[in-house]
Amino acid sequence: MMLPTHALVGLAVATPVAVVVPDLATPVLAGALLGGVFPDFDVVATHRRTLHYPTGYMLASIPAVALALVVGTPGIVAVASLLVAAAVHCRMDRYGGSHEFRPWERKSDRAVYDHVKGRWLRAKRWTRYDGAPEDLLVASVAGGVALLALSGSFRTITAITLGVAVVYTAFRRRLSDLAGMMVGRFRAATELLRIGCGRR
């Protein structure tokens, strides 16, 4: 699923805690927001593998949540919230489309890498690809929950993230075409440069 959906689902999961314990709203929401997007920082490494731990985050979140319930300091609450949101992110990637340049072409079944099992988990495609209309629906429901229940800066962040989700969905396929065209031109230019250097 697209990054805005991960961010909004993270916020939606943390929202009940923020409402029930308003004193901890900032750490729980900030942790959830960061945890919701953090795994996708591996887009510059091996995407959906380097920072994606579908089992690891879930296992780590259990003692972290237990500690947060007992101690309840803002730092521990933020870490627990981050781990829960990261675990949800990796689960969501399993139920979305495959990890490939144009996931709607379905040339790959890879969804997310499970480091415990040592293999890629198969994409279930409940949402066909990141930026699909059904992905936007998930983002809208999660964002709706946060918009209704939150106030202040996190409500603003939610509204902006929802706007980004709408724009991304509108241009998702064209963005792939554009990126593909740019990569093609870059390869052609480097090939010309290589041939030119070879003649000297």
Q: Please state the closest distance from residue 169 (CB atom) to Zn ion, in A.
A: 17
> Could you tell me the smallest distance in angstroms from the CB atom of residue 187 to Zn ion?
27
Comparing CB distances to Zn ion, the nearer of 72 and 134 is 134
- Of the two residues 76 and 99, which places its CB atom closer to Zn ion in the complex? 99
* b/e 97-127 (16+ beta carbons within 10 angstroms → b): bbbeebbbeeeeeebbbbeeeeebbebebeb
Least CB distance to Zn ion at residue 40 (A) = 5
At its nearest, how many Å lie between Zn ion and the CB of residue 29? Answer: 20
Q: Which residues would be at the binding site for Zn ion (CB under 5 A)?
A: 39-40, 93
String of DSSP letters for 60-116:
HHHHHHHHHHHT--HHHHHHHHHHHHHHHHHHHHHHS--SSSSGGG----EEEEETT
Identify which of residues 3 and 18 has a Cβ nearer to Zn ion in the complex: 3
C-beta closer to Zn ion: residue 27 or 97: 97
